[in-house]
Amino acid sequence: MAVGVIDGTPEAVFSTLMSLGPSRTEWDFCFYRGSVVEHLDGHKDIVHIQLYNNWLPRPMKRRDLLLQRYWRRENDGTYVILYHTVFHRNCPPKHGYVRARLKSGGFVITPAKQGKECVVKHMLAIDWRIWTSYLRKTSARSITIRMLGRVAALRELFRAKAGYGSYEYLSGELTKDIWMPQREKEVIKTEVDLKRTESKTKDESEKPVSGSSSLGELNDAEDEFFDVLEPSDDDQPFNGCSVNTSPELCYTDKYQPKLSSAAFFVRKLHDIAVQRKGYTDLLEMSQTESVSCSYGDTLPKDSSFNKPCSWAAADPSPFSIRGDGYLEDHRKIRAEGTLMEMVAADWLRSVKREDNLAGRPGGIVQRYADQGGPEFFFIVNIQVPGTTTYNLALYYMLENPLHEIPLLDSFVSGDDAFRNSRFKLIPYISEGPWIVKQSVRKKPCLIGQALEIRYFQGNNYLEVDIDVGSSTVASRVVSLVLGYLKNLVIEIAFLIQGDTPEELPEFLLGTCRLNHLDASKSVSADSISIR
């Protein structure tokens, strides 16, 4: 990762980074040529980038990249740009180029000094597709580090132009290279104009009588640039290529990142919604239909946290809840346990929303109902719509009578308005790329105030069906998470908000740890058997 302080507004830096025109060569020493292959929506496109080879080791051929590019602007003025490698039918590999694989990468542009400067963070994890014996892993790592040096080049560009070159990028190449809603373009343009005017006015008012200046007057601390070397994506064993094989064609592709690494990078992104656009993600895996199971059995449990695409109850201690005196001191305490036990989970795909899973015959809830036991189930069904709709259903069981827990009893027997005003979710990305963690913060959310929820109730259960597609913002965040899904460990906690002294301290209904979910391993809802 590289970090640098840029003497330019976040809007201007964002525009410069998004440009694929000739002006990019003024600062990006890696860049030779770029183009937009396909516009997907107002915040996503497919771009093809060809790199110069004069900065690469002498024997290496030119590299190119075919990337999906995603961008957004936060409420605080922070811009995020994400990239990952895809395949596209309209942009096959080019003659004379070796297509590198960008496993994870992007920029985070954070405002500083009231938006007159910004801090740029740049992360890259690239498989250069090289022959391990031909070019040592240390050399491959140094190539990535050198590419990160573009942050320093970007800093020097804005320093040289003193911020006045930024508008040229915005007005010309930004419009040509990317598509976004006209309203957003006008917002960016207006902010750049205002900040240029403010900067010019301040400079004129503070200009010293003497025109002389000294390099010693520069504050080096504010312009600090540094690289943090992350574990290499090329630390992989040699796979025994033939000596007669061209070095550029013989490369290893079996590297599996360590799941415990703090620098855990992306190997592939979701292979779901992108297919209808004519491109597919890296290392796409076929789905198997030969599954015979019932509701509550489609996602396996693994308390050891070692098995990919599995669930387990999460440690409640990282989650903060309202304490006894919260109404007076607003202090939160660490949760010490959960009210319910997580007993099952479903990971389903379908062509439509799958509601009321708990009420379907043959599932875990109905099997307990048939036995006539006292158990009560609370189910959270998270629905992610698209060409393929994904359902993540989490099943929690309570063995004690409901009336012994007044707040939960009120929630179960209350109306939808009361439920929506109290039901909270706390998400937490415990493992995964830092750029995803920036988007999913560990903050409680009254989910019913942000998303559409449908409640389904039976004699021994209450199911909460959350439609992620009911919010544009939530859809974008979940789309980002889906892209990195196989490389994430996601922890979630659910609770009912306590608003009165009698309802405090709060308690967690339940927690869940989702270990490296895989969309290709989801189970078709049509294949579920009824026992």
Assign residue 18 the CATH number of its domain: 3.30.530.20
Domain of 202, in residue numbers: 2-207+221-227
pLDDT tens-digit readout, 137-168: 667 788 889 899 999 999 999 988 764 444 44
Q: What element of type H or E holds 269?
A: none
Longest dimension (CA), the chain: 91
Please indicate whether residue 213 or residue 529 has the higher confidence score (pLDDT).
Answer: 529
In 220-259, beta strands by DSSP E = 225-227
Q: Are residues 197 and 344 in the same domain?
A: no
Element (H, E) at 167: helix 166-168
With 90 as the cut, is the pLDDT of residue 184 above it? no
* Distance, CA of 458 to CA of 355 (rounded, Å): 13
Within-domain flag for 97: yes
Q: How confident is the model at residue 438 (pLDDT cuts 50, 70, 90)?
A: confident
Same domain, 305 and 160: no
The pLDDT value given to residue 479: 75
* 527: nearest Cα among 396, 397, 348: 348
Q: CA dist 476 to 23, 24, 439, 482, Å?
A: 30, 28, 10, 10
Listed in sequence order, the residues at least 6 apart from 480 whose beta carbon sits closer than 8 Å to its beta carbon are 70, 82, 436, 439
193 lies in the same domain as 303:
no
- Pull the structure tokens for residue 44: 């996503």
In a domain, 280, yes or no: no
Please indicate, yes or no, whether the overall pTM of this predicted structure exceeds 0.85. no
Token reading at 512: 């869940």
Q: Are 358 and 456 in contact (CB under 8 A)?
A: yes
Closest CA to 519 of 312, 285, 226: 285
- Residue among 382, 404, 403 at smallest CA distance from 392: 382
For residue 264, is it within any domain? Answer: no
Q: What is the 3-state secondary structure (H, E, C) of 1-34?
A: CEEEEECCCHHHHHHHHHCCCHHHHHCCCCEEEE
Let me know if residue 475 belongs to a domain.
yes
CA distance 23 to 19: 8
Looking at the structure, do residues 362 and 510 belong to the same domain, yes or no? yes
The β-bridge relationship of strands 62-73 and 97-99 is parallel
Could you tell me which of 444, 485, 460 has the C-alpha nearest to residue 270? 485
Rounded Cα gap, residues 19 and 71, in angstroms: 13
Place of tokens 């409420």: 75
**Final residue before a domain boundary, out of 178, 195, 227:** 227
Number of domains in the chain: 2
Q: Residue 212 above 90 pLDDT?
A: no
In a domain, 262, yes or no: no
Same domain, 201 and 318: no
Residue 236 pLDDT: 37
**Contact call for residues 15 and 169 (beta carbons, < 8 A):** yes
Lowest average pLDDT, out of 27-36, 245-254, 334-343, goes to: 245-254
Flag whether pLDDT at 218 surpasses 50. no
Same domain, 185 and 298: no
The pLDDT value recorded for residue 135 is 54
- Shared domain for 174 and 314, answered yes or no, is no
Beta strand 341-350 pairing with 523-524: parallel
263 inside domain? no
Which tokens in the block code for residue 496?
């009912």
CA angle 62, 151, 215 (to 5 degrees): 125
Q: What is the DSSP string of 376-400?
A: EEEEEEEEE-SSSEEEEEEEEEE-S
Amino acid at residue number 309: C
Q: What is the DSSP string of 93-139?
A: PPTTEEE-EEEEEEEEEEEETTTTEEEEEEEEEEE----TTTS-HHH
pLDDT tens per residue, range 458-504: 999 999 999 998 988 787 778 778 778 888 999 999 999 999 999 99
Closest C-alpha among 274, 298, 252 to residue 69: 274
For 280, phi then psi, to 5°, come to -130, 155
Q: Note the pLDDT of residue 505.
A: 96
**Does the pLDDT value for residue 129 go beyond 50?**
yes
248 band by pLDDT with thresholds 50, 70 and 90: very low
d(CA 187, CA 191): 6
User: Cα-flanking dihedrals φ and ψ of residue 156, to 5°?
Assistant: -70, -35
In a domain, residue 150? The reply is yes
- The residue from 184, 199, 227 where one domain ends is 227
- 391: CB partners within 8 A, 6+ apart: 346, 347, 348, 349, 350, 353, 354, 357, 381, 382, 383, 384, 525
Q: What angle do helix axes 150-161 and 10-18 make, rounded to 10 degrees?
A: 120
Residue 261 near residue 273 (C-beta atoms within 8 A): no
**Res 121 pLDDT > 50:** yes
Token pair listed for 21: 């025109």
Q: Which of 172, 199, 227 is the last residue of a domain?
A: 227
Determine, yes or no, domain membership for 323.
yes
